[in-house]
Amino acid sequence: MPAHTQNTIANLLVIFVLFFVICPEQASSKLLTEKTYKKLSRIHELVSTNKYNDALVKLDALSTKIKNNKYETALVNQTYAYIYASRENYPKAIAYYKKSLTSGALDKRLVSDIRFSLGQIYIMTGDYKQGISILEPMLESAERSTPNVQILAASAYIELKAYQKAVNLLESALKQVNKPRESWQQMLLSVYYKLKQYRKAAILLEELVERFPDKKIYWNQLSSVYFSLNMPLRSLSTMELAYQRGLYVKETELKNLVNLYLLNNIPLKAAEAFVTGLDQGIVGKSEKNWLHLANIWLVARESGKGIQVLNRAFSSDHNPDIGMRMLDVFLRQQKWNDVITLTQTIIDRSNASELDRAYYHQGIAYYEVGQYKKALKSLQKIKNPTGVTGDTATWIQHIKTAVVNN
């Protein structure tokens, strides 16, 4: 059984003290003799203190004395049922509840109470269809179709995958209460997801965010639903609000926010959020994260900050991937002296797979600053010209001509 259904049924059990037990005070004084009333009261005292064996002994004695009184027998059978249900002996509890229910001696209110208890047992034990069948007369009555009854029936319909019936009952139940239980709203939300009713889910999540502003899960779910509804800006603003409340304390959460900024073409805010995450220790200072931050700065056209971050990462372990990323930036900006310095560092520290590319760009950079002999020397060190670019030979010939002419 899904967690949301189990939680809701568990809450119902707390509300109703596991199962309804009809106290003597609730019974009709006209139909219950004073002697039986006193004995039932004593039995209920034993039940309330979990002295079930003692209660059963007294019930056995009482049942033989009142067997000719249908009303009193119905109450005794109901008490038997309650005790057996409390001890998780559900088959016996069902049998006694049925005896009480079919006695014809109880008024409508008590019958409804017993139906609810019996419905609970069936649903708890996985007999969802029978549980619904027991609850149906109550659901069809405007007076007896209470929110608790509707929620219980809805939980059974969910297990039977009759999601629209569950939605109808859940929506009706929630409308009848000013402050619905959170578990009820969670159940309705789960069914909205099942039916892909995302607009309704968004409205419900807006209520949950307002009621429980410190529960991160609802902010995340609302953002996700907005995204599913093709509302990326609302998705982003929702995550922003959660971030501003200090709810995001995990790296994955902050990265989700950063990605939404990028998706909405707001790279500057993405970079600022990422930097804050690094400063606060939310985001780890790994090579991968430094590279990611650098790329964000570059997307934001903050090449200076991007290079600064790349240089910091490259200086720590001289990873060739980071070096090559820096090289791409310097090449785009035509910072030839920086290209020369960086490629030499890569050549000194890199593995063979990066050497040809480094020599190639170093040669071009030397050429651009007029150092033709050094340019030629770098290009001639390339072992696999076709692995770098197809025009290496052309460049070498061009630079040889430049050397001769100069």
Q: How many angstroms separate the CA atoms of 103 and 110, rounded?
A: 12
* Type and span of the H or E element at 197: none
User: What pLDDT sits at residue 3?
Assistant: 47
Is residue 32 very low, low, confident or very high in pLDDT (cuts 50, 70, 90)?
confident
> Crossing angle of helices 147-159/163-175, nearest 10°?
160
Q: What is 79-115 written as a DSSP string?
A: HHHHHHHHTT-HHHHHHHHHHHHTTS-S-HHHHHHHH
Handedness of CA 263, 264, 268, 272 (dihedral sign): negative
Side chain identity at residue 106, one-letter code: L
User: What pLDDT sits at residue 2?
Assistant: 44
Q: How much is the average pLDDT of 82-102?
A: 94
Is residue 358 very low, low, confident or very high in pLDDT (cuts 50, 70, 90)?
confident
Torsion of CA 48, 50, 56, 59, to 10 degrees: -10
Neighbour tally for 362: CB within 10 Å: 26
- Quote the pTM value: 0.77
What percent of the chain stands above pLDDT 70? 90
Least confident span in 147-161, 216-230, 307-321, 360-374: 307-321
User: What pLDDT sits at residue 6?
Assistant: 47
Is pLDDT larger for residue 241 or for residue 396?
A: 241
Least confident span in 114-128, 189-203, 276-290, 370-384: 370-384
User: What pLDDT sits at residue 126?
Assistant: 95
At 93-117, the pLDDT tens digits run 999 999 999 998 888 888 999 999 9
User: What pLDDT sits at residue 271?
Assistant: 96
At 120-171, the pLDDT tens digits run 999 999 999 999 999 999 999 878 889 999 999 999 999 999 999 999 999 9
Q: How many angstroms separate the CA atoms of 321 and 366, rounded?
A: 22
72 pLDDT more than 80? yes
Quick check: helix, strand or coil at residue 53? helix
Q: How much is the average pLDDT of 329-348?
A: 89
Please work out, in degrees rounded to the nearest 5, the angle formed at the alpha carbon of residue 87 by the alpha carbons of 83 and 93: 55
User: What pLDDT sits at residue 148?
Assistant: 94
Mean pLDDT for the chain overall: 87
Q: How much is the average pLDDT of 6-29?
A: 45
Give all domains of the chain, ordered by start, each with its CATH number. Answer: 1-195 (1.25.40.10), 198-242 (no CATH), 248-317 (1.25.40), 325-406 (1.25.40.10)
